[in-house]
Amino acid sequence: MSKEERNITWQTSSLSRQDRERFNGHPSRTVWFTGLSGAGKSSIAFALESYLSEQGVRCYVLDGDNVRHGLNRDLGFTSSDRQENLRRIGEVSKLMVDAGLLVLSAFISPHEEDREMVKQLFEPEDFIEIYVRCSIEECERRDPKGLYKKARNGEIPHFTGISAPYDIPKSPSLIIDTEQYNISEAVQQIVDHLQHIGALRLPLQTGSALTY
């Protein structure tokens, strides 16, 4: 520990996380979406945010691209930069959980060890990992941002799935296959799952009642 670090003291609020959860009327958690670029992480996260907000849940999406416009704009896409990117987001997510919010963090987060590093920042029940599964062939066919084409042309180095690996999650809390389910169905599955594990308290939805 450096001399500067010894001069830092954690300041405690008079409000606890439990107080904020009580005020908000729901538990606070981090829901972590991982998957290849183009798999549908952000689309699902923002659709889920919209639905939950209508139900009175205080939630917020932390999106990989959005965060790199500000907080992490100094980072590239090397393994070390990706790790630091996720560490910062993990810390921000943890603060937001302490604030009583349901945080929806959508990041490729390709390396198992980095996801585990983020997971270790939280109590076990506070970190919910969702693997948004989609084949590299389908992601490349969709290519909503034109990134796969650029990666194939050598314009983007360290691109996950092309020139950099993706470690499939070993034991995610939930798997959403976006080649089988549309956004509405994916949101429904997540809502049902979050209620099942006690991370949400809403009237239980069944079927595919959600539309976007």
Active site residues: 109
Residues near 68 by beta carbon (within 8 Å), at least 6 away in sequence: 75, 85
Collapsing DSSP states into helix, strand and coil, what is residue 65?
Answer: helix
CA angle in degrees (0–180, nearest 5) for 127-178-51: 60
Per DSSP bridges, beta strands 59-63 and 29-34 are unpaired
| Residues linked to residue 175 through DSSP beta bridges, in sequence order | 131
Quickly tell me which residue has 């939805």 as its tokens: 205
**Beta 102-106 vs 174-177: how paired, if at all?**
unpaired
The rounded distance, in Å, linking the Cα atoms of 32 and 90 is: 10
Residue 68 is encoded by which pair of tokens? 């790199």
Structure tokens at 100: 């009583």
Give the number of C-alpha atoms closer than 13 A to the C-alpha of residue 70, restricted to the C-beta side. 5
